[in-house]
Amino acid sequence: MRYLRVRSVTGPKRPWFAAGVLALAGVSGCGNQYRPVVTPIPPTGPAPQPQAFVVAFSQPGLTTGGTSNPCPQTPYTQAGVVTLVDISGDSVTALANAGTGPLTFALDPSGSTAYSMNCDGTVSTVPLSTTLQSKNVLTTTLPKDASGNTLPTNMLVTTSGQYVVEQNRTALGALTGSPASLKQEIPVAPAVINAIGTASSQYIYSISQGNSTDGSGVQWGQCDPNSGTTVTTNGEADGVQVSTNTVNNRLPVGVCPVYGLMTADSRRTFILNRGSGTITVIDSVKNQLDTDSQSQYMTNATINVGKGPVYADIFTPAALLVTANYDDDSISIINVSINGPVEGFTDTPNFGQVLATVKLKPGSHPAAVTVLQDGSRAYVADEGDGTVTVVNLSSFTVESVLPVNGHPRSIASAFNSPIGKVYTIAQDSPYLTVIRTDTDIVTSSILLQGNGVDVHTTTQYLGSSSTTSQANNITQSRSVGSGAP
């Protein structure tokens, strides 16, 4: 046996025989070595962020539909595909088949389930996880009209269920369960195009491009200024009480409403009227037009903006509404602040004031917009020239114009200081474009299975779980054709 001589690192030298005794005390037999105890050091740095996903739907063989129907006359031969991308690394984590010909999709309030409306007359329920497979996707078949057609075009998802727009049946279909099943149909005004609300709002709104008083209706695509058809009839919004699924009030809106959204506190609803270049404001607590406002910037609950507003986003902390005005190549930035509970949630005197109308490049045709959740910038998807315009929301000026893949129809963002990301998707490109917001450069392009249909992020602000920081419009789908005739 070999004795070890041990010296203290910090203390005085000890006799060799004492060192030998100490050595033997730590050895059980010849040949065994002393094994030091290692104390792990906890990792430093910021806490890990919650997992968030980019959800993109695409369609192999995607073609544009006719003016009266967004689905092609020749049916698709392959199913649509949903792709799940991890925001942190921009890597594809899962993909699966969904219904044939997805038109658009919405997410549930938690961002854990996607619902797509499909040309084959179905709704696909997609559980979002890294283990997603095609066998996990559930299918709901909706009833047909008298001609044997079914066209679910948009959806709103609430905490109590889903509301799907049944355009051919002039109804909202109330769905519940998993897979979603049709609970009842709610008759609404003619030429219904979208459903608007928040996850827990008392009322939701069905917006229709026709008018029930004179029986007028609008065929798909007639609200496009280039369609050759002039529409002058005002649309309508049906206020549906969620607790009873009944229409409690029918409100007039502008010409050719195409989209709308509700504030995070569910107190105001904004209807974008492409045909009249206006926004109709609804007091969604009283379920009536916001005509009691003392604001000098509204007339008959109407705000004038640029031509052809087709999409909007809200920056809740500063009460800014930003609209994408497709037909005059601009965005409008609007003050939508209201007073607190002491004043009874009334509009401020400056409510409805258009703070700025920012002109973009001629021919850019902004189809969608997303606002970073630090309120610094808006990113605009320019379908006309295949770019994204970055607008500073402090100076109301254009900072940069970035070329992206295809002609983007949809845009989504995820903010996480100091690095945020913006994603665009186009109907004429199989690539999802990724933009870093700290440098405002395109950092990658992710190949999809077929051309893009729509994109959302499961959360817009990665640094907080506060509901006021979340995107309030991920629970509803965007109007098909509103920015892409």
Name the CA dihedral angle for 238, 241, 245, 247, rounded to a multiple of 10 degrees.
-30
Q: Are 80 and 12 found together in one domain?
A: no
Q: Are 30 and 67 found together in one domain?
A: no
H or E stretch including 20?
Answer: helix 16-25
**Lowest mean pLDDT: which of 68-77, 155-164, 436-445?**
68-77
For the chain, how many structural domains are there in total?
Answer: 2
Higher per-residue confidence, 473 vs 181: 181
Residue 48: inside a domain, yes or no?
no
Residue 475: inside a domain, yes or no?
no
Higher per-residue confidence, 471 vs 153: 153
Sheet with 102-107, strands from edge to edge, namely: 102-107, 113-118, 122-127, 138-141
Q: Are 88 and 8 found together in one domain?
A: no
CB neighbour list of residue 315: distance below 8 Å, 6 or more residues apart:
322, 371, 373, 375, 393
In terms of residue numbers, what domain contains 343? 55-469
pLDDT at 323: 97
Q: Are 26 and 73 found together in one domain?
A: no
Q: Are 203 and 240 found together in one domain?
A: yes
**Secondary structure E strands in 284-365:** 288-289, 302-304, 309-315, 320-325, 330-335, 354-359
Q: How many CB atoms lie within 10 A of CB 368?
A: 29
Residue 268: inside a domain, yes or no?
yes
Span between the terminal Cα atoms of the chain, in Å: 90
pLDDT at 477: 84
Q: Are 107 and 251 found together in one domain?
A: yes
182-207 per-position pLDDT tens digit: 999 999 999 999 999 998 899 999 99
**CATH number of the domain where residue 412 is located:** 2.130.10.10
Quote the CA–CA distance of 236 and 301 in Å, as a whole number.
14
pLDDT interval class at 65 (50, 70, 90):
low
The pLDDT mean for the chain works out to 86
Tokens read off for 364: 């850019």
pLDDT interval class at 41 (50, 70, 90):
low
H or E stretch including 96?
Answer: strand 91-97
Q: Are 96 and 141 found together in one domain?
A: yes
CB neighbour list of residue 56: distance below 8 Å, 6 or more residues apart:
82, 83, 85, 423, 425, 432, 446, 448, 452, 453, 454, 455
* R_g of the chain computed on alpha carbons: 28
pLDDT interval class at 9 (50, 70, 90):
very low
Q: Are 12 and 104 found together in one domain?
A: no
Asked if residue 283 lies in contact with residue 267, where contact means CB atoms within 8 angstroms, the answer is yes
In this predicted structure, the answer to whether residue 224 has a pLDDT above a threshold of 90 is no
